Amino acid sequence: MRFALEVRRGRDVAAEFATSLEKEIKAAGGETVDPESEPDMVIAVGGDGTMLAGVRKALAYDVPVLGFNLGTMGFLTEADPSSLKEVVGRLTAGDFETVDRMTICATVDQVSTSGVNDVVVEKIDSQRLVELAVSIDGVDFTTYRADGIIIATPTGSSAYSFSAGGPLVDHSLDALILTPVAAHSLFDRSVVIPATSEIAIRVARDRSVHVTVDKNDLGHLATGETVIVSRGPQAARFVSLTGRPFVELVKSKFELG
Protein backbone atom coordinates (compact mmCIF):
# COMPACT_ATOMS: atom_id res chain seq x y z
CA MET A 1 0.00 0.00 0.00
CA ARG A 2 1.07 3.54 -0.75
CA PHE A 3 0.64 6.08 2.04
CA ALA A 4 0.84 9.87 1.90
CA LEU A 5 1.56 11.54 5.23
CA GLU A 6 0.12 14.83 6.49
CA VAL A 7 2.25 15.89 9.47
CA ARG A 8 1.62 18.70 11.93
CA ARG A 9 4.19 21.38 11.22
CA GLY A 10 6.23 23.03 13.93
CA ARG A 11 5.97 20.22 16.47
CA ASP A 12 9.01 18.06 17.08
CA VAL A 13 6.94 15.25 18.53
CA ALA A 14 4.91 15.01 15.31
CA ALA A 15 8.03 14.96 13.14
CA GLU A 16 9.63 12.30 15.32
CA PHE A 17 6.51 10.15 15.24
CA ALA A 18 6.26 10.54 11.46
CA THR A 19 9.80 9.19 11.14
CA SER A 20 8.86 6.15 13.21
CA LEU A 21 5.70 5.74 11.17
CA GLU A 22 7.62 5.72 7.89
CA LYS A 23 10.01 3.08 9.22
CA GLU A 24 7.12 0.91 10.42
CA ILE A 25 5.32 1.21 7.07
CA LYS A 26 8.46 0.14 5.22
CA ALA A 27 9.02 -2.79 7.60
CA ALA A 28 5.43 -3.93 6.99
CA GLY A 29 5.91 -3.90 3.22
CA GLY A 30 4.19 -0.59 2.57
CA GLU A 31 5.48 2.57 0.95
CA THR A 32 5.30 6.28 1.74
CA VAL A 33 4.92 8.53 -1.27
CA ASP A 34 5.35 12.19 -2.09
CA PRO A 35 2.25 14.29 -1.37
CA GLU A 36 1.86 14.94 -5.10
CA SER A 37 1.80 11.22 -5.92
CA GLU A 38 -1.41 9.25 -5.88
CA PRO A 39 -1.62 7.30 -2.59
CA ASP A 40 -3.91 4.48 -1.50
CA MET A 41 -4.44 6.18 1.86
CA VAL A 42 -3.62 9.41 3.67
CA ILE A 43 -2.34 9.28 7.25
CA ALA A 44 -2.50 12.44 9.36
CA VAL A 45 -0.12 12.90 12.29
CA GLY A 46 -1.25 15.57 14.73
CA GLY A 47 -4.58 16.82 16.02
CA ASP A 48 -7.91 17.62 14.41
CA GLY A 49 -6.43 20.52 12.42
CA THR A 50 -3.89 18.22 10.80
CA MET A 51 -6.64 15.69 10.21
CA LEU A 52 -8.66 18.29 8.29
CA ALA A 53 -5.66 18.90 6.04
CA GLY A 54 -5.36 15.14 5.57
CA VAL A 55 -9.04 14.91 4.66
CA ARG A 56 -8.62 17.56 1.96
CA LYS A 57 -5.76 15.58 0.47
CA ALA A 58 -7.74 12.33 0.68
CA LEU A 59 -10.75 13.93 -1.02
CA ALA A 60 -8.53 15.05 -3.89
CA TYR A 61 -7.54 11.42 -4.55
CA ASP A 62 -10.79 9.82 -3.35
CA VAL A 63 -8.92 7.61 -0.87
CA PRO A 64 -9.46 6.87 2.85
CA VAL A 65 -7.85 8.90 5.62
CA LEU A 66 -6.71 7.91 9.10
CA GLY A 67 -5.31 10.08 11.88
CA PHE A 68 -2.88 9.43 14.72
CA ASN A 69 -3.87 11.69 17.60
CA LEU A 70 -0.99 13.82 18.87
CA GLY A 71 -3.32 16.66 19.80
CA THR A 72 -5.72 17.18 22.70
CA MET A 73 -9.34 16.29 21.94
CA GLY A 74 -8.79 14.40 18.69
CA PHE A 75 -12.42 13.86 17.70
CA LEU A 76 -11.48 13.14 14.10
CA THR A 77 -8.45 10.95 14.70
CA GLU A 78 -8.81 7.18 15.02
CA ALA A 79 -5.46 5.81 16.16
CA ASP A 80 -3.34 6.19 19.27
CA PRO A 81 0.46 6.58 18.82
CA SER A 82 1.09 3.78 21.31
CA SER A 83 -0.55 1.36 18.86
CA LEU A 84 1.72 2.27 15.95
CA LYS A 85 2.94 -1.22 15.06
CA GLU A 86 -0.50 -2.81 15.36
CA VAL A 87 -2.20 -0.09 13.33
CA VAL A 88 0.34 -0.16 10.50
CA GLY A 89 0.10 -3.95 10.39
CA ARG A 90 -3.66 -3.77 10.00
CA LEU A 91 -3.50 -1.06 7.36
CA THR A 92 -0.95 -2.83 5.17
CA ALA A 93 -2.90 -6.08 5.52
CA GLY A 94 -6.16 -4.39 4.54
CA ASP A 95 -7.66 -5.23 7.93
CA PHE A 96 -9.84 -2.15 8.32
CA GLU A 97 -13.19 -0.67 7.32
CA THR A 98 -14.03 2.73 5.90
CA VAL A 99 -16.92 4.93 6.91
CA ASP A 100 -18.33 7.60 4.62
CA ARG A 101 -19.07 11.01 6.11
CA MET A 102 -20.85 13.82 4.36
CA THR A 103 -18.97 16.94 3.37
CA ILE A 104 -20.10 20.56 3.13
CA CYS A 105 -19.74 23.06 0.29
CA ALA A 106 -19.73 26.86 0.19
CA THR A 107 -20.20 28.80 -3.04
CA VAL A 108 -19.36 32.48 -3.50
CA ASP A 109 -19.50 34.08 -6.96
CA GLN A 110 -19.68 30.61 -8.56
CA VAL A 111 -16.48 29.53 -6.79
CA SER A 112 -17.09 26.46 -4.61
CA THR A 113 -14.97 24.97 -1.84
CA SER A 114 -15.69 21.79 0.10
CA GLY A 115 -14.78 20.71 3.60
CA VAL A 116 -15.69 18.10 6.18
CA ASN A 117 -16.34 20.24 9.28
CA ASP A 118 -18.04 23.57 8.70
CA VAL A 119 -18.64 26.77 6.81
CA VAL A 120 -18.25 29.86 8.99
CA VAL A 121 -19.52 33.35 8.12
CA GLU A 122 -18.12 35.82 10.66
CA LYS A 123 -17.65 39.50 11.30
CA ILE A 124 -14.39 41.19 10.36
CA ASP A 125 -14.63 44.12 12.77
CA SER A 126 -14.33 42.63 16.25
CA GLN A 127 -16.26 45.54 17.79
CA ARG A 128 -19.39 45.36 15.63
CA LEU A 129 -22.14 42.80 15.12
CA VAL A 130 -23.20 41.79 11.63
CA GLU A 131 -26.66 41.14 10.26
CA LEU A 132 -27.03 37.97 8.25
CA ALA A 133 -30.26 37.09 6.47
CA VAL A 134 -30.75 33.34 6.19
CA SER A 135 -33.01 31.51 3.77
CA ILE A 136 -33.41 27.74 3.59
CA ASP A 137 -34.52 26.08 0.36
CA GLY A 138 -35.76 29.41 -0.94
CA VAL A 139 -37.79 30.23 2.18
CA ASP A 140 -36.76 33.33 4.15
CA PHE A 141 -35.96 32.04 7.63
CA THR A 142 -34.66 34.85 9.83
CA THR A 143 -32.03 37.59 10.12
CA TYR A 144 -29.42 37.14 12.82
CA ARG A 145 -27.65 40.00 14.59
CA ALA A 146 -24.58 38.12 15.74
CA ASP A 147 -20.84 37.65 15.54
CA GLY A 148 -21.47 35.14 12.78
CA ILE A 149 -23.09 31.88 11.71
CA ILE A 150 -21.69 28.35 11.59
CA ILE A 151 -23.08 25.72 9.26
CA ALA A 152 -21.64 22.37 10.35
CA THR A 153 -21.81 18.76 9.30
CA PRO A 154 -22.33 16.10 11.98
CA THR A 155 -18.55 15.61 11.90
CA GLY A 156 -18.09 19.32 12.51
CA SER A 157 -20.72 19.40 15.25
CA SER A 158 -17.99 18.53 17.76
CA ALA A 159 -15.79 21.46 16.69
CA TYR A 160 -16.54 25.22 16.57
CA SER A 161 -20.29 24.63 16.41
CA PHE A 162 -20.20 22.82 19.75
CA SER A 163 -18.19 25.56 21.44
CA ALA A 164 -20.78 28.07 20.17
CA GLY A 165 -23.57 26.13 21.86
CA GLY A 166 -24.58 23.77 19.07
CA PRO A 167 -25.57 20.12 19.62
CA LEU A 168 -23.36 17.08 19.26
CA VAL A 169 -24.68 15.08 16.33
CA ASP A 170 -23.72 11.48 15.61
CA HIS A 171 -21.09 11.52 12.86
CA SER A 172 -22.86 8.78 10.95
CA LEU A 173 -25.92 10.96 10.30
CA ASP A 174 -26.50 13.24 7.33
CA ALA A 175 -27.61 16.72 8.36
CA LEU A 176 -26.67 20.39 8.37
CA ILE A 177 -26.46 22.19 11.72
CA LEU A 178 -26.98 25.97 11.70
CA THR A 179 -25.64 27.70 14.83
CA PRO A 180 -25.42 31.48 15.37
CA VAL A 181 -22.34 32.82 17.16
CA ALA A 182 -23.13 35.14 20.10
CA ALA A 183 -26.51 36.09 18.65
CA HIS A 184 -28.19 39.29 19.89
CA SER A 185 -31.57 38.05 18.74
CA LEU A 186 -34.65 36.62 20.38
CA PHE A 187 -34.08 33.39 18.45
CA ASP A 188 -30.55 32.17 19.12
CA ARG A 189 -30.88 28.37 19.02
CA SER A 190 -29.26 25.89 16.67
CA VAL A 191 -31.34 24.38 13.90
CA VAL A 192 -30.74 20.92 12.45
CA ILE A 193 -32.03 20.43 8.91
CA PRO A 194 -31.78 17.75 6.21
CA ALA A 195 -28.48 17.41 4.38
CA THR A 196 -30.35 17.99 1.12
CA SER A 197 -31.14 21.57 2.11
CA GLU A 198 -29.57 24.63 0.53
CA ILE A 199 -28.82 27.54 2.83
CA ALA A 200 -28.29 31.08 1.55
CA ILE A 201 -26.65 33.60 3.88
CA ARG A 202 -26.82 37.25 2.74
CA VAL A 203 -25.06 40.21 4.32
CA ALA A 204 -28.03 42.43 5.28
CA ARG A 205 -26.12 45.43 6.66
CA ASP A 206 -23.11 47.49 5.63
CA ARG A 207 -20.63 45.44 7.62
CA SER A 208 -18.48 43.02 5.68
CA VAL A 209 -17.93 39.42 6.74
CA HIS A 210 -15.43 36.75 5.82
CA VAL A 211 -16.21 33.16 4.86
CA THR A 212 -14.12 30.12 5.73
CA VAL A 213 -14.48 26.41 4.97
CA ASP A 214 -12.68 24.25 7.55
CA LYS A 215 -10.74 27.41 8.49
CA ASN A 216 -9.62 27.98 4.89
CA ASP A 217 -10.41 31.48 3.67
CA LEU A 218 -12.98 31.73 0.89
CA GLY A 219 -13.03 35.52 0.82
CA HIS A 220 -15.06 38.50 2.03
CA LEU A 221 -18.71 39.37 1.46
CA ALA A 222 -19.97 42.95 1.27
CA THR A 223 -23.51 44.22 1.80
CA GLY A 224 -26.02 42.36 -0.34
CA GLU A 225 -23.63 39.56 -1.24
CA THR A 226 -24.50 35.91 -0.54
CA VAL A 227 -22.82 32.61 0.20
CA ILE A 228 -24.66 29.39 -0.66
CA VAL A 229 -24.06 26.42 1.64
CA SER A 230 -25.04 22.87 0.75
CA ARG A 231 -23.97 19.28 1.02
CA GLY A 232 -20.62 18.61 -0.61
CA PRO A 233 -20.53 16.63 -3.86
CA GLN A 234 -18.24 13.91 -2.47
CA ALA A 235 -18.17 11.93 0.78
CA ALA A 236 -15.02 11.76 2.91
CA ARG A 237 -13.83 8.22 3.64
CA PHE A 238 -12.61 7.73 7.20
CA VAL A 239 -10.71 4.60 8.24
CA SER A 240 -12.39 2.76 11.12
CA LEU A 241 -10.36 0.33 13.23
CA THR A 242 -12.53 0.05 16.31
CA GLY A 243 -16.10 0.51 15.10
CA ARG A 244 -16.97 2.10 18.43
CA PRO A 245 -20.31 3.94 18.57
CA PHE A 246 -20.52 7.72 18.72
CA VAL A 247 -21.79 7.78 22.30
CA GLU A 248 -18.72 5.83 23.39
CA LEU A 249 -16.48 8.30 21.60
CA VAL A 250 -18.17 11.24 23.32
CA LYS A 251 -17.94 9.52 26.70
CA SER A 252 -14.22 8.89 26.21
CA LYS A 253 -13.33 12.36 24.95
CA PHE A 254 -15.22 14.19 27.69
CA GLU A 255 -14.36 11.65 30.40
CA LEU A 256 -18.00 11.16 31.33
CA GLY A 257 -18.90 8.88 34.21
Helix/strand/coil percent split, the chain, to 5: 25, 40, 40
**Which member of 40, 48, 100, 125 is catalytic?**
48
- Among the residues of the chain, which ranges form H helices? 12-27, 48-61, 84-92, 160-163, 246-253
* DSSP string of 45-92, one letter each residue: EESHHHHHHHHHHHHHHT--EEEEE-SSS-SS--B-GGGHHHHHHHHH
Measured between alpha carbons, how far is 75 from 51 in angstroms, rounded to an integer? 10
Judge whether 100 counts as a catalytic residue.
Answer: no
**Residues involved in catalysis:** 48
